[in-house]
């Protein structure tokens, strides 16, 4: 069984779309999507520096566009699993047929702008807590007045909230844990993003989603979502809710995923999956797609790992 995964904010690298522009139709596609997203995707993906593409308002539609450019050049099987981390869930929705690519890029543009605006309202941030006992880490996060914004797998929880609360956690980390501040604009996936959720709800009202044509796992709980309307609502609520990538990976294991393709800019999710699914019977094959040169390996993986899934334990 094949899974196709799409990364979230922080995976971007300067110039990571440059080689994709050599493919027929990509430049015109990105130009059209730029008008929908309200940003220059060609510039951001080729000439922009790291600081420019760190801007939430720019990064989010850029990531969605990059993933969809690559996905469009893969012939995915009718039966496969798709999922995305944070903003990557918008890409996954498009790959699964819930959103048209144009709607996905436009929605990511709204999400990026509104989350950036919410970040500007008060000083907040995020920090990765690496190691420690899970219960102790979660308790320390709560005691500091923070939220567990991302639970990415064993030994990796991201705390988010007010800057002074992050300072408190950094000064007194949980036992056997390290606290590493992240270079982000604010406290994503927490109640601080409530203004963005409201704006996204309004934007979602103009979209007519389709039901997923593939197995689409939700960030919220790892469940397979069968309704496009429900999934769109989850995308709206996601900006204030924790990303439970740990539960997504647990679902991948239950379904019996034997191969993973990570869409560009790839590497982050592949690393998490490799670590968490290391005991998969027969092993798990992973292809990271970062340039057009990676497409042949991805296509080969698709040919060898199509198959019927087990839905046990993943229904919404």
Active-site residue set? 86, 189
Alpha-carbon Rg for the chain in angstroms: 19
Q: How far apart are CA 111 and CA 172, in angstroms?
A: 34
Q: How far apart are CA 158 and CA 143, in angstroms?
A: 15
| Neighbouring residues of 167: CB distance < 8 A, sequence distance ≥ 6 | none
User: Taking Cα atoms as reference points, which of 118, 171, 176, 119 lies closest to residue 144?
Assistant: 171
Neighbours of 311 (CB within 10 A): 12
Q: How far apart are CA 171 and CA 140, in angstroms?
A: 11
Helix, coil or strand: residue 272: helix
Q: How far apart are CA 3 and CA 276, in angstroms?
A: 15
């Amino acid at each position: 069984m094949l899974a196709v995964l799409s990364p979230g904010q922080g995976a971007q690298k300067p110039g990571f779309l440059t080689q994709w522009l050599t493919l027929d139709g990509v430049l015109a596609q990105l130009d059209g999507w730029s008008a929908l997203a309200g940003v220059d995707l060609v510039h951001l993906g080729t000439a922009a520096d790291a600081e420019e593409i760190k801007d939430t308002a720019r990064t989010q539609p850029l990531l969605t566009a990059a993933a969809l450019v690559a996905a469009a050049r893969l012939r995915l099987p009718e039966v496969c699993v798709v999922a995305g981390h944070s903003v990557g869930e918008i890409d996954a929705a498009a790959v699964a047929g819930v959103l048209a690519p144009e709607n996905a890029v436009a929605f990511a543009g709204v999400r990026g702008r509104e989350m950036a605006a919410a970040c500007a309202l008060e000083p907040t941030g995020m920090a990765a807590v690496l190691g420690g006992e899970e219960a102790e880490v979660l308790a320390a996060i709560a005691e500091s007045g923070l939220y567990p914004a991302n639970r990415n797998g064993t030994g990796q929880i991201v705390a988010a909230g007010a800057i002074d609360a992050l300072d408190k956690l950094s000064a007194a980390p949980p036992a056997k844990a390290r606290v590493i501040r992240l270079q982000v604009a604010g406290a994503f996936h927490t109640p601080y993003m409530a203004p963005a959720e409201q704006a996204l709800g309004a934007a979602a009202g103009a979209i007519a989603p389709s039901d997923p044509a593939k197995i689409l796992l939700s960030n919220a709980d790892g469940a397979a979502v069968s309704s496009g309307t429900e999934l769109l609502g989850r995308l709206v609520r996601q900006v204030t809710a924790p990303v439970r990538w740990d539960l997504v990976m647990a679902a991948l294991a239950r379904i019996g995923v034997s191969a993973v393709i990570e869409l560009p800019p790839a590497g982050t999710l592949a690393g998490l999956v490799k670590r968490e699914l290391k005991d998969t019977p027969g092993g798990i094959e992973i292809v990271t797609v970062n340039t057009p040169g990676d497409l042949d390996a991805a296509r080969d993986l698709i040919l060898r790992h199509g198959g019927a899934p087990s839905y046990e334990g993943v229904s919404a």
